[in-house]
Amino acid sequence: MLNVSCNATDKKLQSFSSHSHQSNPVHRINVFSISCSHIRKPGLSPLRAAVSVDQESVIRAEQGLDTLAGRLRLGSLTEDGLSYKEKFIVRSHEVQSNKTATVQTIANLLQEVGCNQFQSVGFSTDGFATTPTMRKLNLIWVTSRMHIEIYKYPAWYFFSAVYVLMTQQMSRDFEIFGYRGDVVEIETWCQSEGRIGTRRDWILKDVANAEVTGRATSKWVMMNQDTRRLQKVSDDIRDEHLIFCPKEPRLAFPEEENNRSLKKILKLEDPAQYSIIGLKTS
């Protein structure tokens, strides 16, 4: 039994803390009790929260799994913790007239799974995936380039199935039909890319048959949020970041295709046949 004294001044918190708490037997660390004093000691701030010592609970809290959104999310870090996989169901409003997902849908899913990986490893949830040192120096990541190739677009489609109900007295066919979406699994990971940047890669698979349906890669650079100037990745930031990256280079595109995917986009020699001016990002 571990006995701990605390300086909680809130009566409800004291009442909660005075009980003994026992962890899940599988992940038990210690059985403990807390005794509290009504007297506030100089130099000590009163407790405002109680933290479980259950190892599984701590891990789930760090990864955001104890929230409703976390429990409903179909994704998690891989066993080695160096990449993240998540499944998505294609919905009706994410497809175009031919019932296949739009490029915008694909890009949104890539962004979603990337953000969820950073949240899972404990990076900030402010949308910029910053490490502790980056937040101190007011640094953020910005996308400098991105390349997406889709071999087969996921779809939202009509389906029908016939079932046979057999009893001793009769046999009858039932037809069930409706719409359903493909289930896509996206794996993503990060790795170092030069002195001022990093890269993120993705691989998309059809869950039904494990077929690779797309790949993507991107490059991110570090920028000072105040000055809007690019900045080199310091060793401190690199160390914070690289512990969640593969130790050996891993590219989403096969080696022979990678050079083609990262080459600069050629400038148009002739005027484009169609053009839209004044596009704005949402």
Tens digits of per-residue pLDDT, 126-175? 667 788 888 899 999 899 989 999 999 999 987 766 666 676 666 776 66
Q: Which domains does the chain carry? A: 1-62 (no CATH), 68-262 (3.10.129.10)
Question: CB-based contacts of 41: which residues, under 8 Å, 6+ apart?
Answer: 7
Q: Phi/psi of residue 6, each to 5°?
A: -135, 170
Q: How confident is the model at residue 50 (pLDDT cuts 50, 70, 90)?
A: very low
CA pair distance 117, 198, nearest whole angstrom: 15
Q: How confident is the model at residue 192 (pLDDT cuts 50, 70, 90)?
A: confident
**pLDDT, average across residues 187-198:** 86
- Give the pLDDT confidence score for residue 30 in this predicted structure: 40
pLDDT tens by residue, 53-109 = 444 454 455 545 556 666 666 778 888 889 999 999 999 999 998 999 999 999 999
Q: Between 117 and 23, where is the model more confident?
A: 117
Q: Between 214 and 118, where is the model more confident?
A: 214
Q: Are strands 2-6 and 32-36 parallel, antiparallel or unpaired?
A: parallel
Q: How confident is the model at residue 205 (pLDDT cuts 50, 70, 90)?
A: very high
Q: Are 77 and 120 in contact (CB under 8 A)?
A: yes
Ramachandran sector of residue 179 (left: φ over 0; alpha: ψ -120 to 50; beta: rest): beta
Q: Is the pTM of this model over 0.75?
A: no
- Give the pLDDT confidence score for residue 65 in this predicted structure: 52
**Low-confidence winner among 23-27, 233-237, 255-259 (lowest mean pLDDT):** 23-27
CA pair distance 155, 169, nearest whole angstrom: 41
